[in-house]
Amino acid sequence: MKNIAIVGATGAVGQEILRLLQHREFPVSRLRCFASSRSVGKIVHFKSEEIALEALDEHSLKETDLAFFAAGGTISREWIPRTKCLVVDSSSAFRESAPLIIPEINIHALNTHRGVVSSPNCAATILLMPLFPLHRQYKVKRIVASTFQAASGAGAHLMEELKKETEAFLESRPFSHSLPFPYAFNLFPHNSLLHPSGYVEEERKMLYETRKILEDPEIQVSATCVRVPVLRAHSIAANVEFHKPFSLEAIYKAWAQVPGLKIFEDRSMNRFATPFDATGKDEIFCGRLRIDPSQPNTLEFWAVGDQLLKGAALNAVQIAEQLLLFH
Ligand SMILES: NC(=O)c1ccc[n+]([C@@H]2O[C@H](COP(=O)([O-])OP(=O)(O)OC[C@H]3O[C@@H](n4cnc5c(N)ncnc54)[C@H](OP(=O)(O)O)[C@@H]3O)[C@@H](O)[C@H]2O)c1
């Protein structure tokens, strides 16, 4: 039994971590929950306990064995270097320097940790779960991916805003949105930091995190990330060129053996996974396999996953479960 902390316990990811610790019977002796000063004193529920939210200070994590950080990169950068406990960080703050783990793919890299383990970007996770068994067999050369990302990927506030804006739109009421354009019934290219290359940070993460997790610096990735007015669960259309030839049959076979992956398609009904199908589910749903006739050894597929779960909270809790086995 361990003393556990969640930093960002009121957020979209933090709330799911809290739920999963209970649901997966994580061995918690004492749980402390942290949020911003706005939330101090509010209550969250864990099993039969009521836990009062606290603000972080120098002493907060002294008796903690393992802390989940889900409060954004700034908080991670400020507080993680000051903590002595094990940390699983959902932000991108330490993804370059710390092991970046998807347990199904590269659990062996956990051995190199020095106290901090990072959980990857949500879109990268949803892309890589169906890709890694194929990379092992056919070696990925190049990926062209388009993402359709849900509001919750930007945090609890955008999810709430989308709900309220949609209601206002349907009732023809004015709504002052935080974005420089309407979001309800609209979509927009991902608004993370724009790099001089023309790619935004989210798209660059898909490149760097794919290379790091698949341990292949030669893989080329060109991504276009788009935020759509979906509440929860990201979708990805991927076009992947391999070094070696493959058959669709072999890919279905490989996917069927991967824990955490679910083939979702009914071709007779032209029915493939949607964000509603994936919402609240642990697995990444994939299918709609096609051979791209325009170039050799190239596959098209569709993947959908609840990015708050496998793309964030579930992956973080799975990492923590593995860390506890080592300590
Ligand atoms: N959302 C996703 O799908 C997703 C996926 C992968 C990774 N991530 C990463 O996970 C992290 C959390 O994302 P999120 O979507 O859960 O964000 P969020 O919904 O905006 O939640 C942010 C959390 O941080 C807390 N917080 C803010 N300032 C704080 C402070 N000074 N001290 C302690 N806590 C503070 C907030 O508390 P208050 O409620 O008091 O403001 C809230 O609990 C981010 O780094 C994000 O990049 C998110």
152 and 92 co-located in one domain: no
139 and 277 co-located in one domain: yes
Q: Which of 33, 122, 225, 286 is catalytic?
A: 122
Report CA(42)–ligand 1 centroid distance (Å): 16
Overall domain count for the chain: 2
Q: Which atom of ligand 1 has the smallest separation from the CA of 73?
A: 45
Q: Under a CB-based contact definition with an 8 Å cutoff, are residues 317 and 24 in contact?
A: yes
175 and 281 co-located in one domain: yes
Report CA(12)–ligand 1 centroid distance (Å): 7
Looking at residue 34, its pLDDT comes to: 98
253 and 282 co-located in one domain: yes
Q: Which atom of ligand 1 has the smallest separation from the CA of 53?
A: 40
Structure confidence by residue, pLDDT tens digits, 93-142 = 999 999 999 999 999 999 999 999 999 999 999 999 999 999 999 999 99
Looking at residue 194, its pLDDT comes to: 98
User: Going by CA atoms, what residue is nearest to atom 21 of ligand 1?
Assistant: 11
> Domain range holding 218?
123-307
- Using CA atoms, how far apart are residues 168 and 182, in angstroms rounded to an integer? 11
Report CA(8)–ligand 1 centroid distance (Å): 5
Q: What is the mean pLDDT of residues 269-288?
A: 98
- Using CA atoms, how far apart are residues 208 and 221, in angstroms rounded to an integer? 9
Looking at residue 163, its pLDDT comes to: 98
Residues 6+ apart with CB under 8 A from 151: 158, 159, 161, 162, 183, 227, 229, 230, 231, 232
224 and 137 co-located in one domain: yes
- Is the pLDDT reported for residue 326 higher than 80? no
DSSP string, 146-202: EEEE-GGGG-HHHHHHHHHHHHHHHTT-----SSSS--TT--EE--SPBPTTS-BHH
C-alpha 62: how far from chain center: 28
- Return the ∠ at Cα 250 (arms to 249 and 251), rounded to 5°: 90
Average pLDDT for the chain: 97
Looking at residue 325, its pLDDT comes to: 82
Q: What is the mean pLDDT of residues 305-313?
A: 98
Residue 177: pLDDT band (50, 70, 90) is confident
- Using CA atoms, how far apart are residues 13 and 8, in angstroms rounded to an integer? 8
Q: Judge whether 286 counts as a catalytic residue.
A: no
CATH number at residue 278: 3.30.360.10
Q: Judge whether 122 counts as a catalytic residue.
A: yes
198 and 255 co-located in one domain: yes
Report CA(264)–ligand 1 centroid distance (Å): 31
177 and 280 co-located in one domain: yes
Looking at residue 98, its pLDDT comes to: 98
141 and 49 co-located in one domain: no
55 and 163 co-located in one domain: no
CATH number at residue 107: 3.40.50.720
Q: What is the mean pLDDT of residues 258-272?
A: 97
Which among 34, 37, 90, 121 is the best mutation to test ligand 1's pocket, defined by most ligand atoms within 8 Å of the CB? Answer: 90
Structure confidence by residue, pLDDT tens digits, 1-52 = 899 999 999 999 999 999 999 999 999 999 999 999 999 989 999 999 999 9
Structure confidence by residue, pLDDT tens digits, 197-247 = 999 999 999 999 999 999 999 999 999 999 999 999 999 999 999 999 999
Looking at residue 1, its pLDDT comes to: 86
Q: Which atom of ligand 1 has the smallest separation from the CA of 159?
A: 19
Q: What is the mean pLDDT of residues 311-323?
A: 97
148 and 239 co-located in one domain: yes
301 and 207 co-located in one domain: yes
Report CA(71)–ligand 1 centroid distance (Å): 3
79 and 97 co-located in one domain: yes
Pocket residues for ligand 1 (CB within 6 Å)? 7-14, 34-36, 38-39, 56, 70-73, 75, 90-91, 122, 152-153, 155-157, 307-308, 311-312
Looking at residue 74, its pLDDT comes to: 98
